[in-house]
């Protein structure tokens, strides 16, 4: 067991866990944040995506010891009931979520993409989200959601 302290969704947390515990299990099982999903456990699908110090990572591949002192953002840290994050609102309106299992990861990937490219081209979106698999949507509504979010941000400036 080791004791790990990190910033999770803007608050400091301390947990005891075996150091090789996957960040995914730490979040889901130790901290009961089940918004982060497991689709493959081998770094292929992106449904376990979270932001680690602002970078998009597959939490199924990150051992817990790597998050010591780090900042982690999960889907639970983005918005809440009464106040959806603009990305969440656009996914909802444009039909970017169908079965919803890829959605938390996809939304975090979008967040990461828009940080890098606030006004992404379609090719930047296609490339930027290509680590996150979605079997339901064929991605088109997701692209719309991303573009819509970028448009709103631009208009809000």
Partner 1 sequence: MAAKESIVGSPALRYEGEAKVLGYAKYIDDLHFPQMIHGATVRSKFPRGRITAIRYGEGIPWDEFTIVTWKDIPGENTIVHLLKDHPCLVQEIVNHPEEPIVLLAHPDKALLRKAVDAVTIEYEPLPAVFTIEESEAPDAPVIWNSEAGDSPNVFKTYLMEKGHVEDVWATADYIIEGEYSTGAQEQFYIENNGVIAEYSEQGVTVWGSMQCPYYLHHALQLAFGLPEQKCRVIQVETGGAFGGKEDYPSVIGCHAALLAMKSGRPVKMVYDRMEDMAATTKRHPSRTRHRTAVSKDGKLLGGEIEFAIDGGAYVTLSPVVLSRGTIHAAGPYNWPHLRIRAKAVATNCPPHGAFRGFGAPQSIFGLERHMDLIAKTVGITPEELRRRNFLQPGGTTATGQLIKDPIDLNGMLTRALEESGYHAKRAEFAKTNPTSPIKRGIGFATFMHGAGFTGSGERRLNSLVAIEVDDEGKPEILVSSTEFGQGTNTILCQVAAQTLHISYKDVRIAQPDTDRVPNSGPTVASRTAMIVGKLVEDASHNLLTCMRASGLLEETYTPEQFCHAALAYKQQHGELRATARYQAPDDIFWDDDKYHGDAYPAYAWAVYVAEVAVDTRTYMAEVKNFWALQEVGKVLNPVLAKGQVEGGVAQGIGYAIYEKCVWKDGVMANNQMTNYIMPTSADLPPIHVLFEEVPSIHGPFGAKGIGELPMDGPAPAILNAIEEATGVRFNHCPLLPEDIFDKLANPTLISADSSQLQPAVAGPVFSGTTP
The 3-state secondary structure of 48-107 reads CEEEECCEEEECCCCEHHHHCCCEEECHHHCCECCECCHHHHHHHHHCCCCCCCCHHHHH
User: CB neighbours of 77 closer than 8 A, spacing ≥ 6?
Assistant: 8, 9, 10
Looking at the Cβ atoms of 107 and 114, the one nearer to ligand FES is 107
- C-beta of 143: minimal distance to partner 1 in Å? 8
Stretch that binds partner 1, among 32-40, 51-59, 63-71, 149-157 (CB under 8 A): 32-40
Residues that bind partner 1 (CB under 8 A): 28, 34-42, 44-45, 47, 74-76, 78-81, 84, 88-89, 91-104, 107, 125-127, 129-143
Residues that bind ligand FES (CB under 6 A): 38-41, 43-48, 58, 60, 97-103, 134-137
């Amino acid at each position: 067991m080791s004791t790990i302290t990190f910033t999770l969704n803007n608050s400091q947390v301390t947990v005891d866990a075996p150091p090789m515990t996957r960040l995914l299990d730490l979040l889901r099982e130790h901290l009961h944040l089940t918004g982060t999903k497991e689709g493959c456990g081998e770094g292929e699908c992106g449904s376990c995506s979270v932001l680690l110090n602002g970078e998009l990572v597959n939490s199924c591949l990150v051992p817990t010891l790597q998050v010591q002192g780090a900042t982690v953002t999960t889907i639970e840290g983005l918005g809440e009931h009464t106040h959806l994050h603009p990305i969440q609102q656009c996914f909802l309106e444009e039909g970017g979520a169908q079965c919803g299992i890829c959605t938390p990861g996809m939304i975090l990937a979008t967040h990461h993409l828009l940080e890098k490219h606030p006004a992404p081209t379609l090719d930047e979106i296609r490339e930027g989200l290509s680590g996150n698999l979605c079997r339901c949507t064929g991605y088109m509504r997701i692209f719309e959601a991303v573009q819509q979010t970028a448009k709103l941000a631009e208009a809000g400036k």
